Amino acid sequence: MRSFDAIIIGGGHNGLVCAAYLARAGRKVLVLERRERVGGAAMTEEVFPGFRFSVFSYVVSLLRPEIIRDLELPRHGLHILPLESTITPLENGDYLGQWNDHDQNRRELARHSLRDAEAYDEFGLMLHQMARAIKPLLGMAPPDPTSLSLANLSGMADLARHFRGLGGKRFHTLHKLLTMSSADFLDEWFENEALKATKSASGIIGTMLGPRSPGTAYVLLHHYMGELDGVFRAWGFAKGGNGSVSAAIAAAAQAAGAEIRCNAPVANVLVSRGRAKGVVLEGGEEIRAKIVVSGADPRRTFLQLVGEKHLPDEFVESIQRFRFRGSSAKVNLALGELPDFTCLPGRGAHLRGAFSISPSVAYLERAYDDAKYGEISRRPYMDIVIPSMLDPAMAPPGKHVMSIFVQYAPYHVSGGWTDARREALGDAVVDTLARYAPNLKSAILHRQVVTPADIERIVGLTEGNIFQGELSLQQMFFLRPAPSWAKYRTPLAGLYQCGAGTHPGGGVMGASGRNAARVILGAP
């Protein structure tokens, strides 16, 4: 029987990043992926003949630049194409555009509100400073404030010093970002409803919260993190779809010596004498390793793969109350022709950017209201890109693919998810979008609707939560996924976690995988 230094459960991007770092440090690593290909939720699939989709996760904005550098991802095939704009069609037939080009953006904003155009730069500068303040936290294993160990105390002291170094004003702004609702926060800066709604929409992605709910403001930062590092623009599209991000990381891991096995679903973690010794595959095969690292979400890892009996009661209780509540869906369309938006007719640069269906904060709140009581939003929030405009290889010549991120589609929909429900969601999305692009319905050749229940079934993300657990304040930093166990270690010796269910979580960021590898390798 073969033995490894480390087994990574799950070939999602975090698992692959972790594997790559461990392999580069000379460890003998095996990645076990349940499905026939790696990538988890970051994968490309030819769903309809000739039409390729980033079925789940569809843009790149947060992938840590140090990971791109360390793993030399461009050399392994990663190529990011920038998204140039975000267009918000309005109900009156007009639109609000946000462009990467500074002057164009300013002119466009001024068309709607001079005041907002004036405030925009200052707002950007403020968020830039805040992103800088947060950035060091993304790469650290969060210290545990409830522990009295020397390492934790000095970690907390470092943290206090870091925040102190920001100065009072920035610290207070950070406090506001962490505790306010995105709508309230933006109300202090802007007056245009479409601008506020489109910006606040980033704060609700993946959560069961509305833009008026406190705790949604800090996600505004995420859009500035990418920009900050100057590697690529805040939003980008990976050539070949998001599967090529995973493929590049997998190639880097393999080049460093990691072994990747697909079609190898793990049934459970092998535990003996209070220690993880390896895994048992569903076929019964046992594979042993010095350590096991799980890229699966906390509930799946601890309650399914490990089992309650091997874990302390208090910890099990923390994991049980860790909230998932997936709220996002995807609709992938194969189109015979390009959508023709009433607000910006014909072809143009705008089709190479994103479209946001978020005409007002009240619109988003109403979408949330439906979901709160277990219904699909009648008029959902949507974030739309047409990848074939950036990478023609995604669709047959002259044809196109459209990726629509949809919220809210609650996992706990009343009556449960059925085929009829799935189609109802697809209809709500297409009907809503057709109000802004009337030729859409006749342009559709094929339609794929991915509900939170589908995400759970296919990718294995509990309750279809795209962040492996809600990114709410009470589930972040040293509380992610459980108090005292946020440092990638677990109560079971030899078992580590590297998924987005750990700090900092969420998005195709890779930071959890990298941080976990650093902890395993004993980095300070």
Partner 1 sequence: MNRTVVIGGGADALVAAQMLATAGREVLVIEGANAPQAEGWVPRQVLRALKLQGLELHWPDPWISVPLPGGGRLELWRDMARSAESIRRVSARDAQRWPQFCKRMARLARFLEVLYAEPPPDPLSAGFAWRARRLGGQGLEDLLRILPMPVAELLDDWFENDALKGALGGAGVLHLLQGPRSGGTAFRLLHHHVGCPPGVFRAPRSNVLELLRRLPRVELQGAAVQRVAVQAGAVAGVLLNDGRELEASMVVSSADPRRSLLEFIEPGWLDPELVRAVRHVRRRGVSARLRVQLDRSPGFGALAIAPSLDYLERAYDDAKHGGVSRQPYVEARCDEQHRLDVHIQYAAQGADCAKLGDTVLAMLSEHWGEAVPREGELLSPQELAQTEGWPEGQAHHAELALDQVLWMRPLPELARYRTPIEGLWLCGPAMHPGAGVAGAAGFNCAREILRR
Q: Does 163 bind partner 1 (CB under 8 A)?
A: yes
Q: Which of 57, 182, 213, 462 binds partner 1 (CB under 8 A)?
A: 213
Cα separation, 430 vs 444, whole angstroms = 9
Nearest-approach distance from CB 163 to partner 1, in angstroms: 6
Q: Say whether residue 102 binds partner 1 (CB under 8 A).
A: no
CB–CB of 338/347 below 8 Å?
yes
**Minimum gap (Å) between residue 412 Cβ and partner 1:** 12
Task: Give the residue among 357, 330, 361 at the shortest CA–CA distance from 341.
Answer: 357
Q: Which residues pair with 9 in a beta bridge?
A: 32, 294
Q: What minimum distance in Å lies between the beta carbon of 19 and partner 1? A: 32
**By CB under 8 A, is residue 164 in contact with partner 1?**
yes
For residue 69, give every residue at least 6 positions away whose Cβ sits within 8 Å of its Cβ, in sequence order, or none.
none
Asked if 431 contacts 425 with a C-beta cutoff of 8 angstroms, the reply is no
Of the candidates 181, 356, 360, 512, which one interacts with partner 1 according to CB under 8 A?
181
Q: Which CB, 180 or 413, lies closer to partner 1?
A: 180
Applying CB under 8 A, among 168, 283, 415, 522 the residue interacting with partner 1 is 168
Specify the residue, 208 or 293, whose C-beta has the smaller distance to partner 1: 208
SS3 470: coil
Assess 503 for contact with partner 1 (CB under 8 A): no
- Count of residues that bind partner 1 according to CB under 8 A: 42
CA distance 32 to 288: 12
472 binds partner 1 (CB under 8 A): yes
- Closer Cβ to partner 1, 148 or 420, answer by number: 148
Residue 85 phi, psi dihedral angles, 5° rounding: -155, 165
CB of 496 to partner 1, least distance (A): 22
**Per rule CB under 8 A, is residue 100 in the interface with partner 1?**
no
What's the order of all strands across the beta sheet hosting 444-450? Answer: 95-99, 85-89, 354-357, 381-385, 400-407, 328-335, 444-450
Residue 415 interacts with partner 1 (CB under 8 A)? Answer: no
Which residues share a beta bridge with 164? none
Distance CA 495, CA 6 (A): 10
Say whether residue 257 binds partner 1 (CB under 8 A). no
Binding of residue 113 to partner 1 (CB under 8 A): no
Contacts 24+ apart (CB under 8 A), 112-119: 112/192, 112/194, 112/195, 113/190, 113/191, 113/192, 113/195, 115/190, 115/191, 116/189, 116/190, 116/191, 116/192, 116/195, 119/189, 119/190
List all residues 6 or more positions away from 3 whose beta carbon is below 8 Å from its beta carbon: 278, 288, 289, 290
Closer CB to partner 1, 147 or 439, in the complex = 147
As a whole number of angstroms, the distance between CA 348 and CA 339 comes to 11
Min CB(63)–partner 1 separation in Å? 27
- State the residue for tokens 């029987």: 1
**CB nearer to partner 1: pick between 207 and 294:** 207
Q: Does 480 bind partner 1 (CB under 8 A)?
A: no
Minimum separation from the CB atom of position 172 to partner 1 (A)? 4
- Per-residue x/- mask for partner 1, residues 429 to 468, rule CB under 8 A? ----------------------------------------
Cα pseudo-dihedral 467, 326, 212, 449, rounded to 10: 110
x-marked contacts with partner 1 along 122-161 as a string, rule CB under 8 A: -----------------------xxxx-------x---x-
Q: Rank residues 65 and 145 by Cβ distance to partner 1 and give the closer one.
A: 145
Cβ closest to partner 1, residue 314 vs residue 423: 314
Which amino acid is present at 125?
L
CB-wise, 78 or 197, nearer to partner 1? 197
Contact call for residue 483 and partner 1 (CB under 8 A): yes
Q: Smallest gap, in angstroms, from Cβ of residue 268 to partner 1? A: 28
What is the 3-class SS of 187-209, one letter each residue?
HCCCCCHHHHHHHHHHHHCCCCC
179 in contact with partner 1 (CB under 8 A): yes
Does 180 participate in binding partner 1 (rule CB under 8 A)? yes
Cβ of residue 173: shortest distance to partner 1, in angstroms?
Answer: 9
DSSP string for 67-111: HHHHTTGGGGT--EEE--EEEEE-TTS-EEEEESSHHHHHHHHHH
* Residue 298-337 contact track with partner 1, rule CB under 8 A, x = bound: -----------------------x-x--------------
Q: What is the distance between the alpha carbons of residues 311 and 314, in angstroms, rounded to a whole number?
A: 9
The least distance separating partner 1 from the CB of residue 110, rounded to whole angstroms, comes to 21
Element (H, E) at 236: strand 236-238
| Binder among 118, 122, 188, 423 for partner 1 (CB under 8 A) | 188
- H helix or E strand, kind and range, residue 328: strand 328-335
CB contact at 8 A, 448 and 332: yes
Catalog residues that contact partner 1 under the rule CB under 8 A: 145-148, 156, 160, 163-164, 168-169, 171-172, 175-176, 178-181, 184, 187-188, 209, 212-216, 321, 323, 362, 365-366, 369, 372-373, 472-474, 478-479, 483-484
